[in-house]
Structure 1
Amino acid sequence: MVKIIRRWKLDLKQLILLLVSAGIALAVYSALMASYRVHERAFIKDTLDANQAYAKKLATVTELFLQSLNSQLRVSAGHIAIHFDDSHAIDVELARLLTQTNSFDSLVVINAQRKIISAQPSSLALKGLTVDPSLSLPIELQQPHILDPFVSPAGNLLVSPTFPIFSSDGTYLGFIAGGIYLQGDTILNQLLGTHHASEHSYVYVVDKNKRLIYHKDNNRVGEHIQGNVAINAVLSGQSGAVEALNSQGVDMLAGFAPVSTTGWGIISQRALTSIVAELDLTHTNVLYSTLPFALAIFVVTLCAGFLIARPLTQLAQNVSSLSPGNLRCIDETPAWYFEAENLKSAILNSSELLGQEIRELEEDRKMDPLTKLNNRLAMQLWLDNVKSMHYQFSVMALDVDHFKSINDEFGHAVGDEVLCALAGVMKKNARSHDFVCRSGGEEFLIFMPFVDANRAFSIAERLRIAISEHAMPLSRPVTVSIGIACWPAHSKSIDETLKMADKALYQAKNKGRNQTCQAQLTPHAANHDVARHAV
């Protein structure tokens, strides 16, 4: 007797259960992971922008504070000059300035021989001392100056703005110096520590010698910092944002801006780990919010699968009772196609619901939020397609003339309205297959496939005139300057062609604005046969 060994196999209901479970889990996972990556890049960019904006704001506040100190010292210097030989009168003036303004921690008057003739508060006991030659730069300059941080004779680490004192006949008498302590609860620390861009960000300030003059950890004031990318950039006069390691080896998102009058640098930064933690918390909440919907989809899909499987199960049960002559109806039954098609539809439906948000985010990444034109990402994708298909095109580089003066005179809100109106004129005058994008600020690019240089010039002139005649939301007309280049007529490189269009734009600017200039053919490009690029 032959023993029949039956191997265990999945039945149709178990297979549907596994496929539905795996499909929905993978769909949810892929959607969440894609969303996580998109949000991670957006969070980092927003944090860098916010830190840069805050550093600029704080640099401006610091500039205004130093200007206020200079004004206070100028007034006192005028009073002291009248009574320079009266030590008591000088003491009275310094005491007045120290108590009435609350801007300085100490004040001294130093004559032209580097001798301290008055000091407040009097408890410092500095009167009669001669200052170190390294602190005599204000005597040499004989003009307002802010001394680099130094340790005073009283042992305090401070920064000191100074103002010269001249007699009525113009004779240089010395200078008045205000001391602002860098450690402890001082006026400068209150100014820099009062505002916070966010609870996770903090600010520190360095002087031009890379020494900390303000930090949330007061014990680090006076420390020299080396190898910090943000500090190197801000002390070279740059303003921007960067992701870099700080001196403690922590990955930071830092925005920075210089204080031009002193050579200081202000850095606002946030640890990258706090961004990741916040992002993890956000997506954990998203996951918890998604699970009920995913569970509902799972139940509906599973029930539908069981309903689909029921007639197939009954058909399988009836197979054993069929006679050999009646197998044709079973053979012609599309059982597997029917099952697979319905299962695929359920999974695709669930994937479509969960992936809709990702597709919308992807579309938003390709659009400029202000003008609703294409942005640089969309432009790069379009150029990649053009390059692969070898479509020749002409490109117009447009820039709004005197746009900064529009913002300065009418405000940034009106400036934004002008950009939107300008975008509307460009879209109205563009052909359906032209590609219009905002490349940055008040600059735009228009790509015109299969348009040569002469025709592009005519189109550009019509557009320029249409813009100048268009009613803008301000009391004067708005004009643009335009530069034109063609690919591959001007260069075999698309990047070089764009640079040539930009160069032609600035040529139009230099010629007086409100005009169009064409890029000049290079010798190599002039002999290049562009006909082989046409489709």
Structure 2
Amino acid sequence: MPKLRSISEKTWSKVSLTTLLTGLASLSVLLTSTILLTASYQSKKQSLMDTTLSLNLSNANKMSHTVDSLFISMRNSLKYSASLFMAIDDMGEDEIDRKLELMRNSSNYFNSIILVNEKGLVSNVSPQAVGTKGKFISGKAALEALAAKESYVSEPYTTSSTGRLIVFMSEPLFDKHGVYRGVIGGTIYLQQNNVLHMIFGDTARDDDGSYFYMVGSDGHLLYHPDQERLGEDVTANKVVQKLIQGRSGQEQVVNTKGVRLLAGYSTVPANGWGVVVVSPFSVMYEQLIRHIMTMLLYTLLPFAVLMVAVVLLARGLAKPFVSLADLVSHIGTDKFELPERKQHWNREADLLTEAISLALTDLKRQTDQLTLDAITDPLTGLLNRRTFESIMHEWTQEGTPFSIIVLDIDRFKAINDTYGHQAGDEVLKYIADTVSSSVRLQDVCCRYGGEEFVLLLHLCSAQEAHMVAEGIRASLMKSTSPVSKPITVSLGIAQYPLHSPSPDELFRLADQALYKAKETGRNRAVIADTVVAQRKL
């Protein structure tokens, strides 16, 4: 009986140990895959958040700069118009009305323009349909503007006469003797087509759910994809509170509707407004899910094979698994380095360790590739060649008309040879800044390579692109470069689909036009198939 009990205990002990080893080995593999997926998920999540926040802040800065420039232009337009009315006593009613109508229609800055005398009487208005001519102003904003006797911009308010939500800008009127004669003012109808809709209407909301909005200095919505929300008080939003304080930045926020967003925000110096560009968290999570599914697709088969191998080779592999578990324990962070692989005495365990090392090496290679696939050029901050080619192919597939400008710096090698490569880098950044400030938000600026840049002008003809190219060329010649001498460029232009429906052929034609510009003396812009002689500035 003692002998039988001993055999039974020995058999039980043997089976339990095999099961335990198999279970432990299997659990190690499962934990390895879980840790890898978790680490990849966290790393990708942080990368997406940082990229989205940076892009949103960059877009918010560009938009705030656009609005700032717009309001400066509007202010200058009003000042110029005010100077025209210094001799208002010598003008007839019809002449004044014509000037107001011309001012409103020529700039499209304002939905309506009014003249108010020093007593608060609306003497003239354009368009006449506004119906306030001959009436005394009663609104708080108009009265403040009249009393200020200086430049004035109101907060958004609803007029009592028309019920419109408007912003009112004004400039004081003085006659030729310096006597105060009232104000000339322009209104922007926030809930109707206005200059903001003309500039930003097509870019207010992206297909991925990202959108932007503008708030006044008092925290009320001035521009939003949902026009029903215009005029809404959103001061409870933390981002809006920071904009009211004149701060710009980027952060994760929860909006007034309880939705989590990634926001970039920037103030507008000219009027104290703020621009906010936001992307919902849900979009980022959708990208993360696709990333995890891709990871599973790549790792499912190797780990399935590995699991079978572990079950078959579990017996006798306890000691080699110590080093394998140590390797797994070090991959829970976002970044890890694979140690130098050591040979195991057991051939099967050595093969298993090699398989895991290969899987981890493949994962690390994929993670590094994500970093290398960044969309921007590190020196200039412009989009890189890969992104340019992707966008151009996308536009041609969609059939979207556009023009391409290929720009090359004239005698760039001489700049590097004379001033050094560091100065050459500064010149490249200077060119990139000039090009970026010369195009619209919907246009694309890329550094193609070396001293060559490429612009994609959305919904733009070759002739319009030629005007843009000439503007860039003139700006570079008139401004001071990092090497204290004018920089000249040569530019080639082609239009899709006028010159070619093929993106590769279109680029080749624009490049040929660039070389034509080089061959005919440099410092000029040439349209494909057409030699456009340009007089140097």
Instruction: Describe how 1:434-473 pairs up with structure 2 within 5 A.
Output: none
Q: Does the CA contact (< 8 Å) of 2:54 and 2:250 recur in 1?
A: yes
Aligned counterparts of 2:50 and 2:314: Cα–Cα separation in 1: 48
**Which of 97, 102, 115 is the matching residue for 2:103?**
97
Counterpart position of 2:336: none
Instruction: Note the alpha carbon deviations across 1:421-467, whole angstroms, 9 max, x for none.
Output: xxxxxxxxxxxxxxxxxxxxxxxxxxxxxxxxxxxxxxxxxxxxxxx
- Provide TM-score, normalisation by structure 2: 0.57
**Which of 243, 250, 256 is the matching residue for 2:252?**
243
Q: Does 1:183 align with 2:200?
A: no
Structure 1 residue 411, shift from structure 2 partner: 5.9
168 and 274 in structure 1: CA distance in 2 versus 1, 3 angstrom threshold:
same
Query: Unpaired segments of 5 or more residues in structure 1?
Result: 310-337, 372-405, 417-472, 477-535
Q: Does 1:209 align with 2:218?
A: yes
Q: Does the CA contact (< 8 Å) of 2:239 and 2:265 recur in 1?
A: yes
Q: Does the CA contact (< 8 Å) of 2:45 and 2:288 recur in 1?
A: yes
Structure 1 residue 290, shift from structure 2 partner: 2.3
Counterpart position of 1:112: 118
Q: Does 1:130 align with 2:124?
A: no
Counterpart position of 1:232: 241
Q: Does 1:33 align with 2:42?
A: no
Instruction: Note the alpha carbon deviations across 1:94-128, whole angstroms, 9 max, x for none.
Output: 22222333222111111111111111221121111
- Provide TM-score, normalisation by structure 1: 0.57
Aligned counterparts of 1:212 and 1:133: Cα–Cα separation in 2: 20
Amino acid at match of 1:70: R
Aligned counterparts of 1:125 and 1:305: Cα–Cα separation in 2: 92
408 and 298 in structure 1: CA distance in 2 versus 1, 3 angstrom threshold:
closer
Q: Does 1:261 align with 2:266?
A: no
26 and 343 in structure 1: CA distance in 2 versus 1, 3 angstrom threshold:
farther
Structure 1 residue 59, shift from structure 2 partner: 0.3
Instruction: Note the alpha carbon deviations across 1:389-429, whole angstroms, 9 max, x for none.
Output: xxxxxxxxxxxxxxxxx99984637999xxxxxxxxxxxxx
Aligned counterparts of 1:95 and 1:264: Cα–Cα separation in 2: 28
Instruction: Note the alpha carbon deviations across 1:74-99, whole angstroms, 9 max, x for none.
Output: 33323333345522212111222223
Report which stretch shifted further, 284-293 or 58-67: 284-293
Instruction: Note the alpha carbon deviations across 1:17-52, whole angstroms, 9 max, x for none.
Output: 656644433222211110111111111111111111
Q: Does 1:192 align with 2:209?
A: no
Structure 1 residue 184, shift from structure 2 partner: 3.1
Aligned counterparts of 2:182 and 2:165: Cα–Cα separation in 1: 23
20 and 107 in structure 1: CA distance in 2 versus 1, 3 angstrom threshold:
same
Structure 1 residue 241, shift from structure 2 partner: 0.8
Q: Secondary structure at the match of 1:161?
A: strand
Instruction: Describe how 1:282-293 pairs up with structure 2 within 5 A.
Output: 282-293=291-302
Report which stretch shifted further, 163-172 or 212-221: 163-172
**Which of 47, 53, 56 is the matching residue for 1:51?**
56
Q: Does 1:412 align with 2:429?
A: yes
Counterpart position of 2:407: none
Counterpart position of 2:76: 71
Counterpart position of 2:151: 144
Amino acid at match of 1:264: W
**Which of 67, 82, 87 is the matching residue for 1:82?**
87
Aligned counterparts of 1:297 and 1:87: Cα–Cα separation in 2: 91
Counterpart position of 1:374: none
Identity across matched positions, percent: 23
Instruction: Note the alpha carbon deviations across 1:2-29, whole angstroms, 9 max, x for none.
Output: 8997759759997786566444332222
302 and 191 in structure 1: CA distance in 2 versus 1, 3 angstrom threshold:
same
Query: Unpaired segments of 5 or more residues in structure 2?
Result: 318-342, 372-376, 380-422, 434-480, 485-537
Q: Secondary structure at the match of 1:175?
A: strand
Aligned counterparts of 2:219 and 2:314: Cα–Cα separation in 1: 71
Report which stretch shifted further, 33-42 or 92-101: 92-101
Structure 1 residue 197, shift from structure 2 partner: 8.3
Aligned counterparts of 2:221 and 2:307: Cα–Cα separation in 1: 58
Aligned counterparts of 1:207 and 1:412: Cα–Cα separation in 2: 34
Instruction: Note the alpha carbon deviations across 1:469-514, whole angstroms, 9 max, x for none.
Output: xxxx9759xxxxxxxxxxxxxxxxxxxxxxxxxxxxxxxxxxxxxx
Q: Does the CA contact (< 8 Å) of 2:220 and 2:235 recur in 1?
A: no
Counterpart position of 2:176: 168
Amino acid at match of 1:82: A
Q: Secondary structure at the match of 1:148?
A: coil
Amino acid at match of 1:146: V
Report which stretch shifted further, 149-158 or 339-348: 339-348
Counterpart position of 2:535: none
Amino acid at match of 2:224: H
Structure 1 residue 169, shift from structure 2 partner: 2.3
408 and 193 in structure 1: CA distance in 2 versus 1, 3 angstrom threshold:
farther
Instruction: Describe how 1:413-432 pairs up with structure 2 within 5 A.
Output: none
Aligned counterparts of 1:246 and 1:234: Cα–Cα separation in 2: 14
Aligned counterparts of 2:310 and 2:46: Cα–Cα separation in 1: 37
Instruction: Note the alpha carbon deviations across 1:213-268, whole angstroms, 9 max, x for none.
Output: 11111111111113321111111111111112211122221111111121111111
474 and 179 in structure 1: CA distance in 2 versus 1, 3 angstrom threshold:
closer
Counterpart position of 1:159: 167
Structure 1 residue 282, shift from structure 2 partner: 1.7
Aligned counterparts of 1:60 and 1:165: Cα–Cα separation in 2: 29
Structure 1 residue 298, shift from structure 2 partner: 4.9
Aligned counterparts of 1:275 and 1:52: Cα–Cα separation in 2: 16
34 and 350 in structure 1: CA distance in 2 versus 1, 3 angstrom threshold:
farther
Rg comparison, structure with higher value: 1
Q: Secondary structure at the match of 1:143?
A: coil
- Cα RMSD, aligned residues only: 3.9
Aligned counterparts of 1:261 and 1:169: Cα–Cα separation in 2: 30
Q: Secondary structure at the match of 1:114?
A: coil
Q: Does the CA contact (< 8 Å) of 1:13 and 1:305 recur in 2?
A: no
Q: Secondary structure at the match of 2:86?
A: helix
184 and 278 in structure 1: CA distance in 2 versus 1, 3 angstrom threshold:
farther
Q: Does 1:60 align with 2:65?
A: yes
Q: Does the CA contact (< 8 Å) of 1:244 and 1:253 recur in 2?
A: yes
414 and 162 in structure 1: CA distance in 2 versus 1, 3 angstrom threshold:
closer
79 and 415 in structure 1: CA distance in 2 versus 1, 3 angstrom threshold:
closer
339 and 78 in structure 1: CA distance in 2 versus 1, 3 angstrom threshold:
closer
Amino acid at match of 1:32: L
91 and 133 in structure 1: CA distance in 2 versus 1, 3 angstrom threshold:
same
